[in-house]
Amino acid sequence: MYFPAYRPRRLRKNEHFRRMIRETSLSVDDLVSPLFVTSGKNVKNPINSMPGHFQMSVDHLVKEIQETKGLDIPAVLLFGIPEKKDDLASAAFAKDGIIQQAVRTIKDRVPDIIVITDVCLCEYTSHGHCGMIEKGDVSNDITLEVLAETAVSHAKAGVDMVAPSAMMDGQVGAIREALDEEGFTGVPIMAYSAKYASCFYGPFREAAESTPQFGNRKSYQMDPGNRDEAIREISLDIEEGADIIMVKPALPYLDIICRAKEEFDLPVAAYNVSGEFAMIKAAARSGWLDGEKAMMETLISIKRAGADIIITYFAREVAILLSGQR
């Protein structure tokens, strides 16, 4: 069909027409809200680079999650900030660790929400890397043992899903095997399958207090220039037992999200990371763009690319907007 017989503007002339033919829409069901939990009581420390977000003690975290559930957001993703860090990341798998405490309390107080836990070590190691250091480098296979032990400790606390993010080779298989051996065959794994070495993690590292004390994470996180490697990484995680695959960050890697959705028959998650959130907030504060519209356009682009699940610091704002509660 060609002009003048075909005029695409006919179906754009008012909001009702636009709604009728809209190909992609965003729902509260798509959202996961990431939250930061820290030790102590009555703690609610603002995160300067992430307006509206806080490091929270468990008592405040429970209140936050109750409100999150009230907005019909189906899931939260927890990151822990321990009281003490060491070279062995011992607080990551401790029975009374901050995440373990938080999971038990949430499942007792707010049982009807999915609790997902990040399984990584960077928040718990004194050096800030995602694994065990041996001869000045991150040891892949030793780290697998600690990641597996950490995942099992989360499962024992009652977590609904674990999300390994350390980008160690074989991490999904090691965790799946450990969970199954301990009787947690029903706990799914959302794998950070294609996690890039990105500058967009800066605000998160402030929030989680997880900046590496030496070097960087380029030896285990992916090179931003690589596309085919992402598909290999995803394939490996699926073979090892991943239930959901993830691409992180989202906006600079929409092509990877799209390709993952086209090539694999599993739910695809995308992490709209802290730097993506902070950019929009900063620009909106300066009056350079409409923050609400930029938020919605960003998340629609991630959904349009193929994401079934969007982990985003905008989750509560979006849920309020979609529900018309403003």
How far from chain centre, in Å, is Cα 20?
32
120: Cβ contacts below 8 Å, ≥ 6 apart: 130, 147, 164, 165, 166
CB proximity list for 198: less than 8 A, separation 6 or greater: 221, 224, 248, 249, 252, 273, 275
The chain-wide mean pLDDT, for the chain, equals 95
Q: Are 137 and 183 in contact (CB under 8 A)?
A: no
Comparing 40-44, 124-128, 208-212, 291-295, the range with the smallest average pLDDT is: 208-212
Q: Is 276 a residue whose pLDDT tops 60?
A: yes
CA angle 101, 166, 257 (to 5 degrees): 110
Say if residues 244 and 309 touch (Cβ distance below 8 Å): yes
Of 173-182, 205-214, 252-261, least confident by mean pLDDT is 205-214
**Is residue 60 within 8 Å of 44, Cβ to Cβ?**
yes
Q: Give the pLDDT confidence score for residue 32 in this predicted structure.
A: 98
Q: What CA–CA distance (Å, rounded) separates 222 from 194?
A: 7
The answer to whether residue 7 sits within a structural domain is no
Mean pLDDT of 155-178: 98
Split at pLDDT 50, 70, 90, the class of 207 is: confident
Strands 31-38 and 54-56 come out as parallel
**Residue 98 in tokens:** 């901050």
Domain contains 3: no
Among residues 44, 85, 95, 195, the one annotated as catalytic is 195
Q: What is the pLDDT of residues 87-108, one digit of tens each?
A: 999 999 999 999 999 999 999 9
* DSSP H stretches of helix in the chain: 15-21, 58-70, 90-93, 98-109, 140-157, 171-181, 202-208, 228-240, 254-263, 274-285, 291-305, 315-323
Please give the pLDDT value at position 242: 98
User: What average pLDDT does this structure show over 112-127?
Assistant: 95
Q: Sort residue 24 into left (φ over 0), alpha (ψ -120 to 50) or beta.
A: beta
| pLDDT confidence bin for 325, thresholds 50/70/90 | low
pLDDT value of residue 326:
56
Domain assignment present for 4: no
Structure-token match 């929270």, residue found = 56
Q: Return the percentage of the chain with pLDDT > 90, whole number.
A: 89
- Whether 248 is catalytic is yes
Average pLDDT over residues 215-243: 94
Q: What is the DSSP letter of 186?
A: T
pLDDT of 236 reads 98
Mean pLDDT of 149-166: 98
Bridge partners of residue 195, in order along the sequence: 248
Q: What number is the average pLDDT over the span 252-269?
A: 98
Q: Is the pLDDT of residue 16 over 70?
A: yes
Q: What is the pLDDT of residue 254?
A: 98
For residue 5, being part of any structural domain is answered with: no
Would you state the pLDDT for residue 205?
83
pLDDT at 67: 97
Which member of 44, 95, 107, 248 is catalytic? 248
How many domains is the chain partitioned into structurally? 1
Angle between helices 291-305 and 274-285 (to 10 degrees): 150
Parent domain of 232: 25-323
Q: Please report the pLDDT score of residue 274 as a whole number.
A: 96
CA 151 – CA 120 distance, rounded (Å): 9
157 domain-assigned: yes
- Establish if 194 belongs to a structural domain: yes
Give the pTM: 0.95
Instruction: State the Cα–Cα distance between residues 15 and 165, nearest whole angstrom.
Output: 41
In a domain, 11, yes or no: no
Alpha-helical (H) ranges within 244-285 are 254-263, 274-285
Higher pLDDT, 74 or 325: 74
Is residue 20 a part of any domain in this protein?
A: no
**Where residue 232 falls among pLDDT bands split at 50, 70, 90?**
very high
Residue-wise pLDDT tens digits, 46-66: 999 999 999 999 999 999 999
Residue 31 three-state SS = strand
| CATH number of the domain residue 181 falls in | 3.20.20.70
